[in-house]
């Protein structure tokens, strides 16, 4: 971790980029924005049009600009937060107001910023040093129209969050009524049962009373032996029952004993809630992206935090839908979990740099083979080409990771007996493979036939 921290902390900011609200008292948008929040979309449009007509020679199309921005600029710039480069909302107006720089300056900066720094342009050099000498990539292919489009997109006002809370309430209500109706049905059934029982008792009482009135004696119980005494006297029956009980209890005891040490279904709570469902399932990230050492080593490897940060430097919060889904269905605030990651990796999201204050995450190990059994990931993943899911189950559907396979010896052996070995394109062993095939009289060799059941393969 520390190594990578050093790599990424190259840029330091002397002065954080001032936000729009702080710096532009003269700016029309701000005033309107604060006072008339309800009319923002309309006013925003008006201002947008005014700006794009008055300040740019060409009218920009914000929709096209968004596409261009996302393909070309978004790797380093966000509209409202600092990334590798500064935040860009209203960049044109800000540069115009604060530094008196016009659209021509912006065009030449975008097309060749390094050239401007070299040529000694004052503001170009200021920005360059402010971002610790990270040169902006040149975009000579962008036309004047493209640049106007991008600037029009950056001049769009911040969209107002119209709160997605309503849906959530509805969901809650629906879930609530569902639970209530279930309970209601159960309660009604219980009451019905009680009534039936009472009715039966009443009927019996009335019948007894009738019988008494008519002078009929209730049938007296047989004076013969009570049932249990008869049972005890019948030795054969006692023997059979005893055997049955012994067998039944042996069966249960055996069942209990043989699951000792088997952790199938073990699902511990992890220090950071990591959803394999989202990462491997929805986003389709390959298992080996994070567990890269499964290709080359005995251990499959828990990714170090710099691998998380490969993506989470850019992915600082989950999509609104995902966030809602997490809260409603799993009771997890995904954004808070990302914050936990930042805290552990020592990443300052505001300043966009590592603080160097990192702490290890204590993940709870799930799959744990006993020490007396040897297992090697690379042998299975790279050489045999076994899919991760074969042993680990449908990880891409697991919100919380659990142990899918029993990891017992019988389970290992079974797979070795059933799985054919990939012998193609393995010139070195062709001869021995042919001989073995002849010996067993089969076309395809299983791992077991190649010695995969020998004790010493896994226990030594």
Partner 1 sequence: MVFATVVACKKDTRPNYQFMPNMYEPVPYEAYQEASVFPNGVEAMLPAEGSIPRGGHMPFEIENTTEGYELAKATLKSPLDSMKIDANRGKELYDIYCGICHGNKGKGQGKLVKREKILGVPSYDDAGRAITEGSIYHTIYYGKNAMGSYANQLNEEERWQVVDYVLKLKADLEK
Under rule CB under 8 A, which residues in 337-396 are in contact with partner 1? 360, 362-363, 365, 368, 370-372
| CA–CA dist 55, 94 (Å, integer) | 12
- Residue in 43, 73, 412, 448 binding partner 1, rule: CB under 8 A: 73
Per residue in 303-336, is it b (16+ CB within 10 Å) or e — as a string?
Answer: eebbbbbeebbeebebeeeebbebeeeeebebee
The piece of 138-146, 153-161, 192-200, 333-341 that touches partner 1 (CB under 8 A) is 138-146
Nearer Cβ to partner 1 (111/457): 111
- Residue in 126, 258, 390, 420 binding partner 1, rule: CB under 8 A: 258
Locate all alpha helices (DSSP H) within 83-121, ordered by sequence: 91-99, 103-111, 113-119
- Residue in 269, 350, 427, 455 binding partner 1, rule: CB under 8 A: 269
Beta strands in 133-243 (DSSP E): none
Nearer Cβ to partner 1 (54/71): 71
Q: Between the CA atoms of 127, 132, 133 and 135, what dihedral angle is there, to the nearest 10 degrees?
A: -70
Here the contacts of 64-69 (C-beta below 8 Å, separation 24 or greater) are: 64/146, 64/149, 65/148, 65/149, 65/150, 65/151, 65/152, 65/153, 65/154, 66/153, 68/142, 68/146, 68/149, 68/150, 68/153, 69/150, 69/153, 69/154
- Residue in 32, 40, 74, 436 binding partner 1, rule: CB under 8 A: 74
Eight-class DSSP state of 420? B
- Residue in 71, 161, 213, 217 binding partner 1, rule: CB under 8 A: 71
- Rounded to whole angstroms, what are the CA distances from 211 to 86, 204, 207, 208, 216? 99, 11, 6, 5, 5
261 contributes a contact to partner 1 by CB under 8 A: yes
Nearer Cβ to partner 1 (278/447): 278
| CA–CA dist 355, 5 (Å, integer) | 8
The piece of 49-57, 87-95, 189-197, 301-309 that touches partner 1 (CB under 8 A) is 301-309
- Residue in 31, 119, 135, 160 binding partner 1, rule: CB under 8 A: 135
Total residues at the site for partner 1 (CB under 8 A)?
Answer: 75
Restricting to residues 183-242, name those near partner 1 by CB under 8 A: none
- Residue in 181, 182, 299, 387 binding partner 1, rule: CB under 8 A: 299
- Residue 348: helix, strand or coil by DSSP? strand
Restricting to residues 395-414, name those near partner 1 by CB under 8 A: 402, 406
Nearest CA to 364 out of 410, 400, 413 is that of: 400
Q: Check: CB of residue 423 under 8 Å from CB of residue 445.
A: yes
- Residue in 313, 323, 339, 457 binding partner 1, rule: CB under 8 A: 313
- Residue in 32, 138, 327, 332 binding partner 1, rule: CB under 8 A: 138
304 contributes a contact to partner 1 by CB under 8 A: yes
Shortest distance, position 328 Cβ to partner 1, whole Å: 21
Shortest distance, position 320 Cβ to partner 1, whole Å: 12
Nearer Cβ to partner 1 (53/368): 368
12 contributes a contact to partner 1 by CB under 8 A: no
324 contributes a contact to partner 1 by CB under 8 A: no
Helix (H) or strand (E) holding 258: helix 235-258
Restricting to residues 75-94, name those near partner 1 by CB under 8 A: 75-77, 83-84
- Residue in 42, 252, 374, 429 binding partner 1, rule: CB under 8 A: 252
């Amino acid at each position: 971790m520390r190594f990578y921290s050093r790599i990424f902390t190259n840029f330091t900011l002397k002065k954080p980029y001032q936000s729009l609200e702080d710096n532009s008292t003269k700016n029309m948008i701000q005033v309107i924005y604060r006072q008339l929040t309800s009319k923002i979309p309309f006013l925003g449009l008006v201002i947008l049009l005014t700006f794009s007509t008055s300040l740019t020679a060409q009218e920009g199309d914000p929709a096209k600009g968004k596409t261009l921005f996302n393909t070309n600029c978004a790797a380093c710039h966000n509209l409202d937060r600092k990334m590798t480069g500064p935040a860009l909302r209203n960049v044109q107006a800000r540069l115009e107001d604060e530094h008196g720089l016009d659209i021509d300056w912006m065009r030449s900066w975008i097309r060749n910023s390094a050239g401007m720094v070299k040529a000694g342009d004052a503001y170009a050099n200021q920005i360059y040093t402010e971002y610790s000498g990270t040169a902006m990539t040149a975009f000579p292919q962008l036309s004047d129209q493209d640049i106007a489009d991008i600037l029009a997109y950056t001049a769009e006002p911040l969209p107002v969050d119209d709160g997605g809370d309503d849906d959530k309430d509805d969901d809650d209500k629906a879930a609530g009524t569902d639970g209530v109706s279930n309970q209601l049905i159960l309660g009604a059934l219980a009451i019905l049962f009680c009534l039936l029982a009472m009715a039966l008792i009443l009927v019996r009482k009335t019948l007894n009373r009738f019988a008494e009135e008519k002078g009929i004696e209730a049938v007296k119980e047989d004076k013969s032996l009570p049932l249990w005494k008869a049972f005890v006297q019948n030795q054969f029956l006692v023997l059979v029952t005893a055997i049955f009980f012994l067998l039944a209890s042996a069966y249960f005891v055996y069942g209990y004993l043989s699951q000792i040490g088997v952790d199938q279904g073990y699902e511990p709570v992890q220090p950071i809630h990591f959803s394999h469902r989202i990462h491997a399932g929805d986003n389709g990230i390959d298992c080996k992206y994070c567990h890269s050492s499964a290709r080359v080593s005995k251990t499959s490897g828990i990714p170090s935090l710099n691998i998380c940060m490969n993506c989470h430097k850019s992915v600082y919060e989950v999509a609104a839908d995902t966030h809602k889904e997490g809260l409603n269905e799993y009771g997890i605030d995904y954004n808070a979990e990302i914050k936990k990651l930042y805290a552990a990796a020592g990443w300052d999201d505001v300043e966009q740099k590592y603080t160097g204050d990192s702490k290890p995450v204590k993940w709870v190990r799930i799959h744990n083979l006993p020490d007396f059994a040897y297992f090697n990931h690379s042998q299975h993943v790279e050489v045999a080409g076994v899919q991760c899911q074969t042993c680990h189950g449908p990880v891409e559907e697991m919100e919380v990771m659990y142990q899918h396979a029993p990891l017992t010896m019988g389970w290992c052996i079974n797979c070795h007996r059933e799985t054919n070995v990939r012998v193609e394109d393995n010139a070195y062993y062709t001869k021995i493979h042919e001989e073995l095939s002849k010996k067993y009289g089969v076309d395809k060799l299983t791992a077991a036939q190649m010695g995969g059941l020998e004790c010493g393969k896994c226990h030594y």
